[in-house]
């Protein structure tokens, strides 16, 4: 039999309990057809030596906000950095007001009261953008502040009745949190596109994201380490678990014969690398349906 492609000289973490590791992967017509010894005697149109790199199933994004991301490209960026204070936020709103006609909207996103000192105040927003409607979304996406003009449009009283009115109508959602380890790092883990900084690991190149394994605060302190999962659990969550969440575990999420040849080639094995070094693992190549992507 002559197949399309054989990838060799690799270490694959397959996320398949029946065949957890592999050294060769055979691909034909976009799907994985065989691993390791089952490729003995099989030829291919192309053979690629991966130089000992680690191969894992293609990462599956189980949770993203693509529409919101697209809409947000035209919004006022209030994230920190560059915003370091409330005055920075007000100045940015005032600058945008110069380009917005009276009665128009100024929409911003990404402010974090923990980093700028407090939530933006309705009256300060009124002064920064008189005659405009101002709506600023919190970095969590579950809270916002608005100015008086927006409150009037929505029929809310604009008086000084309570902190909520003074602040400009802040609304917040509450979340039920279940420890990831207790939940088995189950289906649905995902990077929640977009990730600040562009690529999943930040910086100017693609890297592996170690969030469930060693989450850190902005200062670098461990965050809820008792809820951390192992690197293998995290990998499973971002591959097979996420595919399961999308009802696609039958065709993706693990390096298993019969499944789509969606693969990520990494500079190191995230399941054996020291957790502090996971963020430095580079994505060397990806394959979608057996085809290398640029």
- CATH for 66-172, among 3.30.830.10, 3.10.310.70, 2.40.10.10, 3.40.50.300? 3.10.310.70
pLDDT tier for residue 208 given thresholds of 50, 70 and 90:
low
What confidence score (pLDDT) does residue 27 get?
A: 98
pLDDT tier for residue 68 given thresholds of 50, 70 and 90:
confident
Q: Which of 290, 279, 280, 281 is nearest to 48 (CA)?
A: 290
pLDDT tier for residue 61 given thresholds of 50, 70 and 90:
confident
What confidence score (pLDDT) does residue 165 get?
A: 39
What confidence score (pLDDT) does residue 64 get?
A: 81
- Mean pLDDT is highest, among 163-177, 207-221, 268-282, for 268-282
Q: How far is it, in rounded angstroms, from Cα 39 to Cα 48?
A: 14
- The H or E element containing residue 259 is none
pLDDT at 3 over 70: yes
Signed CA dihedral, 66, 69, 74, 75: sign only: positive
Preceding omega of 82 cis (within 30 degrees of 0): yes
Region 1-61+187-294: CATH code: 2.30.40.10
Q: How far is it, in rounded angstroms, from Cα 141 to Cα 172?
A: 9
State what percent of residues in the chain have pLDDT above 90.
68
CATH 3.10.310.70 region(s) of the chain? Answer: 66-172
Contact 239, 186 (CB under 8 A): no
What confidence score (pLDDT) does residue 285 get?
A: 96
Of 279 and 191, the one with more pLDDT: 279
- Mean pLDDT is highest, among 46-55, 150-159, 177-186, 271-280, for 46-55
What confidence score (pLDDT) does residue 169 get?
A: 42
Q: How far is it, in rounded angstroms, from Cα 125 to Cα 189?
A: 37
What confidence score (pLDDT) does residue 70 get?
A: 87
CATH 2.30.40.10 region(s) of the chain? Answer: 1-61+187-294
CA dihedral 90, 92, 98, 99 (to 10 degrees): -140
CB atoms within 10 A of CB 24: 20
* 126-181 residue pLDDT tens: 999 999 999 999 999 899 999 999 999 998 877 653 333 344 444 333 333 333 33
* 75-112 residue pLDDT tens: 999 999 999 999 999 999 999 999 999 999 999 999 99
Residues 6+ apart with CB under 8 A from 215: 222, 223, 224, 228
Q: Which of 227, 219, 220, 226 is nearest to 114 (CA)?
A: 219
pLDDT at 223 over 90: no
What confidence score (pLDDT) does residue 185 get?
A: 41
pTM listed for this prediction: 0.71
What confidence score (pLDDT) does residue 253 get?
A: 97
């Amino acid at each position: 039999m002559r197949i399309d492609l054989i990838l060799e000289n690799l270490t694959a973490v397959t996320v398949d309990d029946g065949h957890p590791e592999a050294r060769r992967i055979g691909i034909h017509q976009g799907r994985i057809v065989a691993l390791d010894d089952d490729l003995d005697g099989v030829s291919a149109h192309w053979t690629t030596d991966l130089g000992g790199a680690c191969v894992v199933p293609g990462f599956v994004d189980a949770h993203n906000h693509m529409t919101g991301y697209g809409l947000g490209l035209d919004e006022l960026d209030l994230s920190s950095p560059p915003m370091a204070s409330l005055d920075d936020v007000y100045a940015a709103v005032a600058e945008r007001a110069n380009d917005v006609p009276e009665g128009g909207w100024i929409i911003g996103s990404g402010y974090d009261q923990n980093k700028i000192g407090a939530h933006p105040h309705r009256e300060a927003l009124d002064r920064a953008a008189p005659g405009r409607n101002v709506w600023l979304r919190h970095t969590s996406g579950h809270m916002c502040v608005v100015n008086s003009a927006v409150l009037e449009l929505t029929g809310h009283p604009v008086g000084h009745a309570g902190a909520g009115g003074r602040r400009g109508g802040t609304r917040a959602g509450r979340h039920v949190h279940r420890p990831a380890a207790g939940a088995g790092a189950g289906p649905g883990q995902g990077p929640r596109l977009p990730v600040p900084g562009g690529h999943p690991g930040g910086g100017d190149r693609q890297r592996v994201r170690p969030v469930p394994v060693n989450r850190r605060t902005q200062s670098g302190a461990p965050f809820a380490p008792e809820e951390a999962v192992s690197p293998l659990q995290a990998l499973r969550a971002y591959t097979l678990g996420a595919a399961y969440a999308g009802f696609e575990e039958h065709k993706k999420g693990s390096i298993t014969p019969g499944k789509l040849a969606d693969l990520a080639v990494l500079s190191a094995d995230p399941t054996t690398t020291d957790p502090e070094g996971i963020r430095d693992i580079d994505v060397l190549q990806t394959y979608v349906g057996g085809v290398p992507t640029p």
